[in-house]
Amino acid sequence: MTTRTLDTLTFDNRFVRELPADPDASNERRQVTGACYSRVLPKRTRQPEMVACAREVAESLGLTEEACATDDFLQAFSGNKVLPGMDPVANCYGGHQFGNWAGQLGDGRAINLGEVVNDVDQRWALQLKGAGPTPYSRTADGLAVLRSSVREFLCSEAMHHLGVPTTRALSLVLTGDQVLRDMFYDGNPKTEPGAIVCRVSPSFTRFGSFEIFSSRGEWDVLQQLLDYTIRVDFPHLGSPGIETYLAWFDEVCRTTADMIVEWMRVGFVHGVMNTDNMSILGLTIDYGPYGWLEDYDPDWTPNTTDAEGRRYRFGQQSQVALWNLAQLARAVAPLIKQVEPLQASLDNFLSRYNDGYHDMMAQKLGFKEFDSAKDKELIDELLAVLQLSETDMTIFFRDLADVSIDGRAAADGIDATQTPFDDAYYQADPLPDEQRDQTLAWLRRYIDRLLRDGTPDRVRRERMNAVNPKYVLRNYLAQMAIDKSEVGDHSMVNELLEVLRRPYDEQPGKEEFAKKRPEWARHRAGCSMLSCSS
Residue 106 binds which one of ligand AMP, Mg ion, none, with CB within 5 to 8 A depending on kind?
ligand AMP
Under 8 Å CB-to-CB from 511, ≥6 apart: which residues?
none
User: Could you tell me if 236 and 250 are in contact, meaning their C-beta atoms sit under 8 angstroms apart?
Assistant: no
> By C-beta, is 52 or 179 nearer to ligand AMP?
179
Sole window of 219-227, 269-277, 318-326, 383-391 interacting with Mg ion (rule: CB under 5 A): 269-277
Sole window of 9-17, 185-193, 270-278, 377-385 interacting with ligand AMP (rule: CB under 6 A): 270-278
Range 88-117, binding ligand AMP (CB under 6 A): 105-109
We find the least distance from the C-beta atom of residue 117 to ligand AMP, in angstroms, to be 26
Side chain identity at residue 125, one-letter code: A
Residue 289 binds which one of Mg ion, ligand AMP, none, with CB within 5 to 8 A depending on kind?
none
Question: Pick the catalytic residue: 107, 276, 392, 399?
Answer: 276
> By C-beta, is 107 or 392 nearer to ligand AMP?
107
Contacts 24+ apart (CB under 8 A), 354-360: 356/257, 356/258, 356/261, 357/261, 357/264, 357/318, 360/261, 360/262, 360/264, 360/265, 360/467
d(CA 48, CA 266): 34
d(CA 391, CA 389): 6
d(CA 77, CA 113): 9
Sole window of 166-174, 224-232, 270-278, 318-326 interacting with Mg ion (rule: CB under 5 A): 270-278
- Half-sphere exposure in the Cβ direction for 353 (13 Å, CA): 23
We find the least distance from the C-beta atom of residue 108 to ligand AMP, in angstroms, to be 2
User: Could you tell me if 155 and 473 are in contact, meaning their C-beta atoms sit under 8 angstroms apart?
Assistant: yes
- What would the 3-class secondary structure string for 168-228 be? EEEEEEEEEEEEEECCCCCCCCEEEEEEEEEEEECCCCEHHHHHHHHHCCCHHHHHHHHHH
Is 276 annotated as catalytic?
yes
Sole window of 29-37, 80-88, 137-145, 420-428 interacting with ligand AMP (rule: CB under 6 A): 137-145
d(CA 186, CA 166): 33
d(CA 64, CA 49): 19
> By C-beta, is 209 or 345 nearer to ligand AMP?
209
Among 141, 390, 448, 495, binds ligand AMP (CB under 6 A): 141
Among 1, 25, 140, 410, binds ligand AMP (CB under 6 A): 140
We find the least distance from the C-beta atom of residue 262 to ligand AMP, in angstroms, to be 21
- Indicate whether 205 belongs to the interface with ligand AMP (CB under 6 A): no
- Indicate whether 275 belongs to the interface with Mg ion (CB under 5 A): no
d(CA 345, CA 339): 10
Among 127, 149, 201, 277, binds Mg ion (CB under 5 A): 277
- Indicate whether 142 belongs to the interface with ligand AMP (CB under 6 A): yes
Sole window of 141-149, 197-205, 254-262, 263-271 interacting with ligand AMP (rule: CB under 6 A): 141-149
We find the least distance from the C-beta atom of residue 15 to ligand AMP, in angstroms, to be 17
- Indicate whether 192 belongs to the interface with Mg ion (CB under 5 A): no
- Indicate whether 286 belongs to the interface with Mg ion (CB under 5 A): yes
User: Could you tell me if 78 and 46 are in contact, meaning their C-beta atoms sit under 8 angstroms apart?
Assistant: no
Provide the binding-site residues for Mg ion, judged by CB under 5 A.
Answer: 277, 286
Catalytic residue ranges: 276
Provide the binding-site residues for ligand AMP, judged by CB under 6 A.
Answer: 105-109, 136-137, 140-143, 272, 276-277, 286, 288, 532
